[in-house]
Amino acid sequence: MKAPIPDSYWVEPGRLLAGEYPGAPAEADARTKVQRFRDGGVTSLVDLTEAGESGLLPYEDLLEEGMRTTRLAIRDLEHPSEPEMVAILDRVDAELAAGEVVYVHCWGGVGRTGTVVGCWLVRHGDAPEEALEKIAGWRRDTPDGRKRSPETGAQRAFVHGWRAGR
């Protein structure tokens, strides 16, 4: 299943997608990106960015009917606390259980997004290194595929420290 935009990838095709910020500097470009997510079936966006981060323009007003966003911010290049990660993963799982198609994103779709996806995979039974290898494989053909995801050593260590069921 093809991802809606180049810098995104399916974690579970048709259910869970991850990648870069869905907005853009020009409103017309942002509208096009949002429409691609809608066409891909996305109904719930989990935003890991901080409000006003790096001059990112909000996209919430561009969401179409049936789409919503939830901000669960993580500081750029960092990882959340364990309770914060549990809350993020619980939200993703609740959305999936409700039949939503979820898009998890940060700014570039590399560090924070990779950390959340890695922990989500471990929660659901993958070994940490297996989770990181899957992310690398899914990202291989994206424009930022050369970047390691999660991005920092601390983020990768956080995934390695996560356990199934947490």
Catalytic residues, which ones?
Answer: 106
Q: How far apart are CA 43 and CA 60, in angstroms?
A: 12
Of residues 151, 149, 129, the one with CA closest to residue 138: 149
Q: How far apart are CA 152 and CA 87, in angstroms?
A: 22
Q: How far apart are CA 96 and CA 101, in angstroms?
A: 6
What tokens appear for 2 in the block? 């093809």
Which residues have CB under 8 Å from 79's CB, separation 6+? 85, 112, 115, 150, 154, 155, 158
